[in-house]
């Protein structure tokens, strides 16, 4: 990827089999993996409101290590205190879980 950036190719491009570069629109880039991939991301309890804006995080103690399951476009799906639970939930909904560090 870094090599492509040095050549001036934007990160939201895909090389075709013929070697040409086809740029993706922002909407196309955001839709990649939609309905197929879910991201398991570690999150601190202090950051829950940022990722899950509609959730009432008032009862969460500070300093907790939690895990967020997010759709491919970053939409929140699940908040749990177990990486295994987040992963199992993804599989249960036919989503391939991937880790985000």
pLDDT of residue 7: 43
pLDDT of residue 33: 59
The answer to whether the CB of 5 falls within 8 A of the CB of 11 is yes
β partners of residue 99: 40
Beta-carbon contacts of 37 under 8 Å, excluding residues fewer than 6 positions away, are: 72, 95, 96, 97, 98
pLDDT in tens, 8-66: 444 545 555 566 566 767 666 566 656 678 889 999 999 998 888 877 767 788 899 99
Beta-carbon contacts of 24 under 8 Å, excluding residues fewer than 6 positions away, are: 12, 13, 14, 32
> Quick check: pTM over 0.95?
no
């Amino acid at each position: 990827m870094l090599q492509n950036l040095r050549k001036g190719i934007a990160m939201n491009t895909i090389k075709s089999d013929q070697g040409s570069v086809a740029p993706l629109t922002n909407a196309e880039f955001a839709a990649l993996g939609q309905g197929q991939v879910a991201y398991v991301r570690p999150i601190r309890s202090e950051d829950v409101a940022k990722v899950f804006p509609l959730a009432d995080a008032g009862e969460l103690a500070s300093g907790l290590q939690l895990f967020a399951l997010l759709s491919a476009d970053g939409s929140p799906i699940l908040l749990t205190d177990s990486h295994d639970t987040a992963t199992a939930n993804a599989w249960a909904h036919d989503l391939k879980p991937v880790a985000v560090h």
